[in-house]
Amino acid sequence: MSAVLLPHALLDLTVARIAARLDGAACHKICRSVLCSPRRHAHQSVSLETLTTPEFSQHVHEGDRSLYARRQARPSALASAGLFPHSQDRPMTELERRIAELKEAPVAETSQNPSIPSYSEAELISMYEDLLAIPAATQQQDHAVQVPDTQQEQDHAIVRAVLEALYAHEDPATIPSDARSQYTAAIAKLREIIDVLETIRAEPEAPSVDLSVLSTEEWVSLVRICAKEQDGQAAETVIELMQRSGSAIPEAALETTASLYADVGDVVNTERFLASFAGASPSERLRDLHIKAHIRAIEPRTFPTQALSVLHDYEARGLPAPQRSYTRAITALLSVRSSVAEAQAWDLFSHMRYVAHPVPDPYLYTLMITACGSRVIAPQPARALDLFTEMTVDKGIAPTAASYTAAIFACAMSGDKLYVGEAFRLAKEMLDGHRDAYGNHALIPDRRTFCALLEGAKRTGDLAKVRWILAEIVSESQRAARGDVQDPVVVDERIMTHVFHAYAAYKPPFNRGAAVLVEQNHAASSESSSTVQSTAATASQDVPHDGSPSTSSATEAAPQVPVTIASHFTSLLPQSHAEVVGEARALLARIINDAAPDLRGSSLHSPELADGSMPHAFQKVTLTARLLNAFLSVHYTHALLDESAQLYRTIFAELGVEKNARTYIEALERAAYARRGERKQALKFAREVWEEWCGVEEKWGRREENAMKLEARLIERAYVGMIRVLSLTGNTREAVQLVRRFVERYPPDTVKRANPKLALRSTRTVLQAPRPVVRLMSPTEIPDDTVPPLLSFPEVEVLHHKLVAKGDKESIGYLKYVCMSYSGALMRRKEATLHAKPVGDEGAASQP
C-alpha cells in the first residue's frame, strides 16, 4: 500500500496546529512520523527536530500520553507560553521540570562565576602558538627518530648492506671502506651474478622465473653513490645491469645519471645515454636535461643556437619540453646582452605560450618583466605593467617580492617621471598591501628593490628620495648590528654609485644670477667683511657647467676656493653646487673610514667625519672604478674644472683603483663642455687624458690579453670629445688631423658589411620549422648594436662652424665627404640587414 504524500505547505500548517494542542510525548510521535518522509526540506526538518528531544521521552508520565487527558488538564494551549505549557493549578510534570532546569542552568552558571577571565588578542595568539608548537616539536622528534640520516648517508648505508649481502660467504675484512671501492666491488659481484642468471635463462629447459637481484631502492642508491663520485661510467654500468636483470629502470636512476653529464655540459655523453636508455620518448625531466647540457656547453654570452634547435625539434616530434627548459633558453638569450638575442627571447616567450605552455609560472613572468628594463633595447615599462597585471589579476598568481622588484626596475629604467612615480607606487603596494596576521610585511624588499628605486630617483634628479632611501638602508644596517634584523640590506658599491649619480643629476635651487648685489657697509667689522667675501667666493663656484658661454667677466675670473666638507647632513637639500660637492665628499670620506681603514691618510679622508653616529654603515662598500667615476661626475657637474682635473689625477692613485674606459671618456666630455673661461685649462686637461686614452686604444687594437674592453660607442665618444675641445680652442687643423686618423682606423667600408642573419630570425611564416612561429618583435624594431665606430655631422658640427669661420674650403670638403661616406655606408648596412638571407635556411634564396 503506497503512502499518500501531502503538499509541504499543508503539512507544515497541520503540524503547527497540532503541536499547539498536544503534550510533549504525543507531539514527539507526530514529529517522528513527519521526519520519516523523504520529501521534506532541510530547514523544515531542523525546525521540527527542535520541538523536543528523544532522551526525555522515558521520563514522561503515562497519564500525560493521552490526548484527551491533556485537553481536560488545561482549557487552552494558547493561554500559556512555550512548547510544553503547564497550568498554574497543578504540579509540574517530570519532563517540564527537567526542561525548566536546563533553561535556568546557564543563568545559574553565570551567576556563580561573575568574573569570567578575558583574554586579549595577543594572549590568544601566543596561546595558540604554544599549542601548535607542541605537535610541531613532536612531529620533528618523530621525524628525527624515523629518518635520522640524510639521503647521502642512507645511500651509503644501503650500499654497505648490499655489499655485505653479496659478500656474505667471504671474509668481512675484505670489504673496502671507501665509497668508490665499495660500489666497484658491488658492481663486480652483480655482474657475476647476472652472467650466471643469463646463462641459466638461455638453457632451453630453464623455468621462466623472475628473480629480483636487488630492490628498486637499492639500485637507485647505488646509482646515486656513483653519481656522487662523478663516475658516470659506473652509473651507466649499474643501469645496464639493472636492465639485464629484468628489473624496471626507475626514472630517478636515469635522471641522476643524465644530470651528471648535463651539469658539466657534456653533450656527447648526454645524447648517447638518452639514446641508449631513454628511448624515442624521454620523460620531461630528461628532455630538460638534454637542453641544459647544450646550454652549459657554450661559452658565456653566446647565442644558444643548438639548444634552441633541440627545443624546437622536441616540439616537432610532439614532445614539448617542460617550461623549465624554455626558461633556461630565455635566460641564456638574455645573458648575451645583444639586441638580436633579446628579440629572440621575446619571440620564444610568445612561441612557448602558443605551442606548449599557455600560462607561464611566476619565475618566468618575473624574468620577462625584468627584460622590459633592458639596457640594450629601449625600456618597455608599459609592457612590464601589462605582464604584471596579467600575472596577478588575469591569471590569479600571487605576486612575489622578485616580481614587484622586476616591475619597479622596468618602470625606473624608462626615466619618465610618470613611470618612475608608478615604480614608487608599486613599492608602496608591495609593503602595505601584503602583511601577515601580526602586521609585518609579507614581501620584504631586498637589495635589488632598493637599487631599482634609486635608479628611478636618480634618472629624474630626485635627490630627496635618494637621501631617504639611503637613510633607510643605513638604519636597517644599524638594526641588524643590534640583532633586530636577520638578513638586512647593506650599503654596497652599486648603491653608492646610484647615490653619487643622483647628486650629479641634482639641480640646486640657488641661482647666482638671480642674487641681489648689496653694497657693503664700510663701517662693518672686519669679521663681517670676511664672511661676505667667503660667501661670494663660494657662490662663484655655484655656476652650472652646461657649456653655455658666460656673459660675466667676473665669472671667468672667479677665484678657486676649495669646497668645505660638511660634517653632517641636514634635512634640507643642498641649496648650491658647493653644498652638493660637500655632501658627496662627506659620503666618500665615510666610505674610506669604514671600508678602507688603511687609506685614512688620503687627502679625501676627513677625521671630522670619523664619528660614531653611523658605525660601520659603509664597511661593505668596495672601491671600484665605477664608484669613483660616479664620484667624479659630481665634480664634473658642480665644481670647477681645475678642481675636477686635480681630483682626476690623484684619486685613482691614492685609493689604488685602476681606471676603466668610461673614466677617460667622461673626463674628455667634461673638458669638451667647459665654460669659456675654462677652455685653456680644458685643453691642457684633455691632452693629458687623450694621451692615456691612445695607449688604451692601441692595446685594444692589438688584442692584447690585458687590454681594456672597448665598445664602438665609447670610441666614438672619446674622439668626438677631443675633436670638440680642439675646435673650441681654435686648433682646427689638429682637429681635422684627428678626423683623418679616425677614418683610417675605422673606415666607412666596415660599416657597410651587415652581420649574417641566423636561421632562427627568418621572416618566413611556416607552421613547422626549427624557429618560433609567433613573434613579438619585427626586424625593423631590433636595433643594430654591432655597428662599428662612425662619425655623423651633428658630432663634428662645431668643427664645421669653425672651418667656415676660417674659410678653410679644403677641410670643409673633406669633412663633408667623411660625413656623407659614413651616412651612405650606414644606409647600405640597414638595407643589407633587412634583406639578408638566413644562413642554412632552406628556400632562403627564393624567399626572404
The span from the first CA to the last CA of the chain, in angstroms, equals 87
Cell triple for 630:
660616479
Confidence of residue 139 (pLDDT cuts 50, 70, 90): very low
Q: What is the pLDDT of residues 258-273, one digit of tens each?
A: 999 999 999 999 999 9
From residue 501, alpha-carbon distances to 489, 495, 542, 660, 667 in Å are 20, 10, 18, 17, 15
Q: pLDDT tens digits for 714-759?
A: 999 999 999 999 999 999 999 999 999 999 999 999 999 888 877 7
- Asked if pLDDT for residue 549 goes beyond 50, the answer is no
Give the pLDDT band (50/70/90) at residue 607: low
pLDDT computed for residue 834 by the predictor: 80
CB neighbour list of residue 508: distance below 8 Å, 6 or more residues apart: 542, 573, 574, 575, 576, 577, 579, 580, 638
pLDDT tens for each residue of 464-488: 999 999 999 988 887 877 777 777 8
Average pLDDT, the chain: 78
pLDDT in tens, 2-25: 444 556 656 666 666 665 555 444
Q: How high is the pLDDT of residue 603?
A: 65
Backbone φ and ψ of 560, nearest 5°: -95, 100
pLDDT given at position 147:
36
Q: Give yes or no for a contact between 829 and 754, defined as CB atoms under 8 angstroms apart.
A: yes
- Residue 195 reports pLDDT greater than 50: yes
Q: Which amino acid is at 791?
A: L
Residues 719-729: tens digit of each pLDDT:
999 999 999 99
C-alpha–C-alpha distance, residues 26 and 29, integer Å: 5
- 403 and 425 Cβ atoms separated by less than 8 Å: no
Q: Give the Cα-Cα-Cα angle 492, 495, 497 (nearest 5 degrees).
A: 105
Specify the pTM: 0.75
Provide the sign of the torsion angle of the four alpha carbons 605, 606, 607, 612, taken in this order.
negative
Tell me, what's the pLDDT at 26? 47
C-alpha cell at 26: 504525543
Q: Determine whether 815 is exposed, middle or buried from the number of CB atoms within 10 Å of its CB (0-12, 13-18, 19+).
A: buried
pLDDT at 215 over 60: yes
State whether residue 443 is helix, strand or coil.
coil
Question: Looking at residues 777-806, what average pLDDT do you find?
Answer: 91
pLDDT at 522: 46
Supply the pLDDT for residue 10.
Answer: 60
Residue 38 reports pLDDT greater than 70: no
122 confidence band (pLDDT: 50, 70, 90): low
Q: Where are the beta strands (DSSP E) in 131-248?
A: none
Q: pLDDT tens, 59-68? A: 444 444 443 3
In 434-493, DSSP assigns E strands to none
Give the per-residue pLDDT at 719: 97
The more confident residue out of 697 and 485 is 697
Q: For residue 418, what pLDDT is reported?
A: 95
Nearest of 474, 468, 441, 443 to residue 454 by alpha carbon:
468
CB crowding 606-620: b at 16 or more within 10 Å, else e: beebeeeebeebbeb
What is the arithmetic mean of pLDDT over 789-798?
A: 95
Q: What angle do the packed helices 362-371 and 323-334 form, to 10 degrees? A: 20
Instruction: Name which residue leads in pLDDT, 715 or 31.
Output: 715
Are 790 and 751 contacting, i.e. CB atoms less than 8 angstroms apart? yes
Q: Which of 86-90, 288-292, 667-671 has the lowest mean pLDDT?
A: 86-90
Do residues 630 and 501 make contact, with C-beta atoms less than 8 angstroms apart?
yes
**108 band by pLDDT with thresholds 50, 70 and 90:** very low
pLDDT at 39 over 70: no
What pLDDT band is residue 847 in, cutting at 50, 70 and 90?
very low
Report the pLDDT averaged over residues 646-665: 94
Which pLDDT does position 9 carry in this prediction?
57
pLDDT at position 711, please? Answer: 92
3-state secondary structure 244-273: HCCCCCCHHHHHHHHHHHHCCCCHHHHHHH
Task: Enumerate the domain spans of the chain.
Answer: 8-105, 151-249, 748-848
